[in-house]
Amino acid sequence: MVWDAWGIPAGHKPLSAQIRGLLTQVFGVSGDPVARRDEGEVPLRESALTPDRRDGLVEVVGADNVSADHRDRLRHAGGKSTPDLLRRRADGPQDAPDAIVFPADHRQVLAVLAYCAEHAVAVVPFGGGTSVVGGVDPVRGRFDAVIAVDLRRLDGVSEVDPISGMVTLGAGLTGPRAEELLRAQGLSLGHFPQSFEFATIGGFAATRSSGQASAGYGRFDDMVQRLKIATPTGTLELGRPPASAAGPDLRELFVGSEGALGVITEVTVRVHPVPETIAYQGWSFPDFETGAAALRSVVQAGAAPTVLRLSDEAETGINLARAGDIGGNPVSGCLAITTFEGTEAHVAARSAEAGALLAAAGGTALGETPAEEWEHGRFGAPYMRDALLDVGVLCETLETATTWANLAGLKAKVTAALTDSLAGQGTPPLVMCHISHTYPTGASLYFTIVAKQLDDPIAQWHTAKQAVGDAIVAGGGTITHHHAVGTDHRPWLPAEIGELGVRVLRAVKAELDPAGILNPGKLVP
C-alpha cells in the first residue's frame, strides 16, 4: 500500500464530475485536490535502534530481514484511519518504527520476541497495516526503541483437509493470496472484509474481523479452529476442532488479542468448496425499520443469505451502495442486498425461503443488478475517502452492534451525537448508515460520516469521535463490531468488560509478556 493513503496507486481515481458537483453544492468546496508529498521527501523521526540491537536482531533473522530503510519505515508507520491519513498529509516529521524485522517462521518470531523481551525493545506485530483504530502505531511505551515485526514471510498453506473443510494458513498471507492458494484446491475461505485486498490472515484473527459474507460464512472468529501463537514466554497452540468442553476456550482469548498478548503465526480455519453458483437479488424497503425487521425475520428463521445488507435512506439516496452511481439519480426508500452461494440445490432452496420472508416483510424485489453492482464496487470505498480528504472533505466510518430491539434507538443516538458534534463545530455532516452483519439476536450498524474539513481536521474528528464513543457505550452498543480496540477505542474498553475484566486481561498479559514489550498502548487499558 502507498504510505499516505489506502491501497495501490492504480486504485486512486479523481472524483467524478457528479460527485464534485455534489460536494460544491453541499459543502462549498471546489473539488480540486491538494498535492501530496513525495514519499522520499517526508522527514522521519530518526531510528532509535542502536547498532548492537540491530546486530542482535540480524543474528535471529539474517541481515536481509532487518530494515531501517526510509521507505520501509514509512510504510510501517501505522494504519489507515482518517486521522492516520490526515497526519500523513500534514507537514512535519512522521513517526515510524525504528526498524522492521521480517521473520521467516514461527521459530524466528519466538526468537525475536525473546530477544526483544531481554533487551527492552517494543514489538508491533504487523500484517497488512490496514488498522483503522491505531492498532499498529509505532508506540515505544517505556522502551527506547520499537520495531515492527512484519509477518509477510509466514505465507504458507499447510494441512489441507478438504474432508473436514479445514486448512492451516500462515499469518502473513493476504486475503487475495489465501483465496488464490485455496482456489487451487477447490476451496474458499469466504472472508471478505473491506480490507480484504491488503489485510492478512493473522490480522483477521487478531482483530476479530468480520467479512461481508458473514451472514453465510460467519465472522472470522467463527472460522478460526486453531491458533498458533508466539509469546515471549513460549508457544501456545489452542483450539481443538470441531468443539470441546475441556474448560474455558482459551482460543477466544487470542482471537482479538491485537498483538498485545502474543503474535499469531498460524491460523487453522474452516473453509468450504468454491460455490457452484451465486445468486444475486436486490430489494427495496420503504424505510429502515421495515427493512431491519425483514432482515431480522430471515436470520431468526435460520434462512440467512450469504450476504445480507441494508442501507438506510440517506445511504440509499446517495447511492453509496452503488459506487458507480454516487450523486446520480436519487433512489428512495432503503436498498437491501442479498447473495446466495452454494450448490444449485442449496441456493435455490435458500433464496426461495429468504425471498418469501423478505417479500412478506414488505420488501420489493429489484432483480440482480443492485446486488451485482454492490459486489463489483465493494472494496472501493476507502479509495473514495482519500479522494475526499484530498479536496478538503472529512470522511470517516465507524461501526457498532446491538440487539434488534435496541437497533433503531442506537442508530438515532449515534446519528445525533455525530450530527450535534460536527454541526456544533460549524460543519454539519452527512451521516449514512447500513446494516452489514446480522445475527439471531442483533445486527451491526456501520456509519459513514462526511463533512467539510476544518483547519485542524484531526481535532475536528477527535471531538466527534469522543462524543459518538460515549453515545455508543451509553446507548448499549459495543465500541466496535469488527474494527478492534487499538489505541482509539481503549478508553471505552472498561465500559465493555468492566474494571475486573481489565484486570483479567492484565493478568494474562503479565503471564505471557512480563516485560510488556508486545504492542504497547494498544488494547489493554
**Which residues participate in the annotated binding site for FAD?**
125-131, 207-210, 258-264
Burial string for 263-301 (b: 16+ CB within 10 Å, else e) reads bbbbbbbbbbeebeeebbbbbbbeebeebbebbbebbee
CB of 515 to a second copy, least distance (A): 16
**Strand partners of residue 334:** 285
Site for a second copy contains 261 (CB under 8 A):
yes
User: Which parts of 206-225 interact with a second copy (CB under 8 A)?
Assistant: 207-210, 216, 219, 221, 225
3-state DSSP helix/strand/coil % of the chain, to nearest 5: 40, 20, 40
Does 423 bind a second copy (CB under 8 A)? Our answer is no
Query: Which residues between 162 and 191 bind a second copy (CB under 8 A)?
Result: 163-166
Pick 93 or 498: Cβ nearer a second copy: 498
- How many residues bind a second copy (CB under 8 A)? The answer is 94
Q: Which stretch binds a second copy (CB under 8 A): 92-100, 146-154, 409-417, 510-518?
A: 510-518
Q: Which stretch binds a second copy (CB under 8 A): 45-53, 111-119, 170-178, 242-250?
A: 242-250
Our CA angle for 122, 126, 128, nearest 5°, is: 160
Round to whole Å and give the CA distance between 206 and 202: 6
Q: Which stretch binds a second copy (CB under 8 A): 38-46, 183-191, 234-242, 426-434?
A: 234-242
Among 235, 290, 397, 425, binds a second copy (CB under 8 A): 235
* CA neighbor of 336 nearest in space, from 409, 432, 436, 212: 436
Nearest alpha-carbon partner for 274 in 217, 208, 221: 217
Of 207 and 421, the one with the shorter C-beta distance to a second copy is: 207
| Residue 400 C-beta: closest distance to a second copy, Å | 9
First to last CA, the chain: 30
- For cell 462526511, the residue is 450
Kindly report the three-state secondary structure assignment for every residue of 161-212: ECCCCEEEEECCCEHHHHHHHHHCCCEECCCCCCCCCCCEHHHHHHCCCCCC
**Strand-pair partners of 126:** 150
**282: helix, strand or coil:** strand
Residues 424-453 that bind a second copy (CB under 8 A): 437, 439-444
Q: Does 264 bind a second copy (CB under 8 A)?
A: no
Interacting residues with a second copy between 284 and 323 (CB under 8 A) = 296, 300-303
Determine, following the binding rule CB under 8 A, whether residue 241 of this chain makes contact with a second copy: yes
Kindly report whether the peptide bond that precedes residue 97 is cis, defined as omega within 30 degrees of 0.
no
446 is catalytic: yes
The active-site residue, picked from 115, 383, 439, 446, is: 446
Interaction between residue 257 and a second copy (CB under 8 A): yes
113 binds a second copy (CB under 8 A): no
Cα separation, 310 vs 284, in Å, equals 9
Q: State phi, psi for 368 to the nearest 5 degrees.
A: -75, -30
| 510 binding a second copy? (CB under 8 A) | yes
Subset of 269-288 contacting a second copy (CB under 8 A): 270, 272
Q: Quick check: 104 binds a second copy (CB under 8 A)?
A: no
CB of 256 to a second copy, least distance (A): 5
DSSP for 392-417 reads: TEEEEEEEEEEEHHHHHHHHHHHHHH
Question: What is the spatial distance between Cα 355 and Cα 195, in angstroms, rounded to a whole number?
Answer: 29
- 484 is a site residue for a second copy (CB under 8 A): yes
Tell me the closest approach of the beta carbon of residue 384 to a second copy, in angstroms: 23
Task: Please report, in range form, the residues annotated as the binding site for substrate.
Answer: 385
- Whichever of 303 and 336 has its CB closer to a second copy, that residue is 303
Nearest distance from residue 513's CB to a second copy, in Å? Answer: 12
| Residues in the chain, total | 525
Beta carbon nearer to a second copy, 33 or 525: 525
**Cα-Cα-Cα-Cα dihedral sign, residues 36, 41, 47, 52:** positive
The residue among 52, 87, 106 whose CA lies nearest residue 235 is 106
State which of positions 397-416 bind a second copy (CB under 8 A): 401-406
Query: Does 346 engage in binding with a second copy (CB under 8 A)?
Result: yes
Residue 238: CB minimum distance to a second copy, A: 6
Q: Which of positions 35-94 make contact with a second copy (CB under 8 A)?
A: none
In this complex, which beta carbon is closest to a second copy, that of residue 233 or of residue 425?
Answer: 233
Report the residue number, 377 or 409, with the smaller CB distance to a second copy.
409
Helix (H) or strand (E) holding 231: strand 224-231
Question: With respect to a second copy, which residue has the nearer C-beta, 24 or 244?
Answer: 244
Residues labelled catalytic: 446
